[in-house]
Amino acid sequence: MLYAEALTLRQGGRMVSRDLSLAFPRGAITALVGPNGAGKTTLLRALHGEHPLAAGRIALDGEALNPTTRRRWQARIGYMPQESRAAAGLTVLEAVLLGRAGTLAFRLPEAALREAAALLEEFGLLDLAGRDLTTLSGGQRQMVFFAQCLARRPEVLLLDEPVSALDLRHQQTLMRALRRLTEARRLISVVVLHDLNLAARYADRIGVLAEGSLRVLGPPAEALSAPLLSAIYGVGVRVLWGEDGHPMVQALV
């Protein structure tokens, strides 16, 4: 279990989040949603150990995060930032390998190569292994970076808006893969999403953040309530029930 207790986060002198407490269980996807500036990315970075805590503590299976344990902490986490830069001159396989950059010896061990290739195969990208990263589509690139994340064999996945720039098909592909892997490997997955319906479909629990505080944390049916969403987004909202049993959020115009 990943715990965050009474977190207070500051950015540039401004208070971003106050007194946040959340728990993220294993084998489940927790989606973080909310308006821009709600502090979702900052929270994610704090969970990664990158953003200093003004107050509160974070612990994974009882082991607390502090400056001395940071390196070990970060080795257990796969963090996927929003940015999607690709450098020409790197192949897809090399990009995945870099997930384990900290542990690689000078000569690439056969095992590392095979593992990276296996990850690509799992995502159906193996035939792209030798291609230059910049020749891939946005959706394919995100999948590669996702694979890179997983190459670290993390216990925790922190994904910051992994599908915002992707088309419909690739959104589904990535989220399905995330679901599959979270369950199969009993990962703790925390995903920041803008698309409420995507969150409703794939997340086990949704945490709604607004202005730095947690409004609700629970299963989609519970968390996505029309009055709450209207209040925090400032626009009229209607929640419907889809045929597959997931709630669907619609903005009222």
Partner 1 sequence: MSAAITAAVAAHRARERRRLAMLAATAAVLAVSLVLDLATGPALLPLREVVLALSGQPGADETVSVILWSLRLPMALMALVVGVALGVSGATMQTLLDNPLASPYTLGLAAAAGFGASLAIQYGGWGLPPVLAVPGAAFLATCLACAVILGVGRLRGMAANTVVLAGIALLFLFHALQSLMQFRASPEVGQQIVFWLLGSLAKADWHNLAITAAVTAIALPLLMRHCWALTTLRLGEARARALGVPVAALRLGAVALISLMTATAIAFVGTIGFVGLVAPHLARLCIGEDQRFLLPLSGLMGALMLSSASVLSKVIIPGALVPVGVVTAVIGVPFFLWLILARRLPG
Does position 146 interact with partner 1 (CB under 8 A)? The reply is: no
CB of 43 to partner 1, least distance (A): 15
CB of 9 to partner 1, least distance (A): 17
Amino acid at 239: V
Minimum CB distance to partner 1 smaller for 115 or for 204: 115
Q: How many CA atoms lie within 13 A of 115 on its CB side?
A: 17
Q: Which two tokens stand for residue 59?
A: 């612990």
Contacts with partner 1, 150-189, as mask; x by CB under 8 A: --x-------------------------------------
Does position 32 interact with partner 1 (CB under 8 A)? The reply is: no
**What span, in angstroms and rounded, lies between the C-alpha atoms of 217 and 185?**
23
Mark the segment that binds partner 1 (CB under 8 A) among 16-24, 117-125, 162-170, 196-204. 117-125
Q: How many CA atoms lie within 13 A of 36 on its CB side?
A: 0
> From the list 32, 46, 120, 200, which residue makes contact with partner 1 (rule: CB under 8 A)?
120
Minimum CB distance to partner 1 smaller for 104 or for 240: 104
Whole-angstrom CA distances from 162 to 89, 147, 165 are 23, 12, 8
Mark the segment that binds partner 1 (CB under 8 A) among 1-9, 90-98, 166-174, 208-216. 90-98
> From the list 15, 19, 37, 50, which residue makes contact with partner 1 (rule: CB under 8 A)?
50
Of 67, 155, 157, 153, residue with least CA distance to 103: 153
Span between the terminal Cα atoms of the chain, in Å? 40
Whole-angstrom CA distances from 253 to 35, 89, 115, 227, 234 are 18, 47, 49, 15, 12
> From the list 129, 191, 192, 229, which residue makes contact with partner 1 (rule: CB under 8 A)?
129
- How many of the other CB atoms lie within 10 Å of CB of 68? 8
User: Under rule CB under 8 A, which residues in 67-86 are in contact with partner 1?
Assistant: 71, 74-75, 79-83, 85-86
Of 29, 58, 38, 9, residue with least CA distance to 175: 29
Does position 61 interact with partner 1 (CB under 8 A)? The reply is: no
Rg (CA), the chain: 19
Does position 94 interact with partner 1 (CB under 8 A)? The reply is: yes
Minimum CB distance to partner 1 smaller for 53 or for 75: 75
- The residues that touch partner 1, with contacts defined as CB under 8 A, are 48, 50, 71, 74-75, 79-83, 85-91, 93-95, 98-99, 101-102, 104, 106, 108, 110, 113-114, 117-118, 120-121, 126-127, 129-130, 145, 148, 152
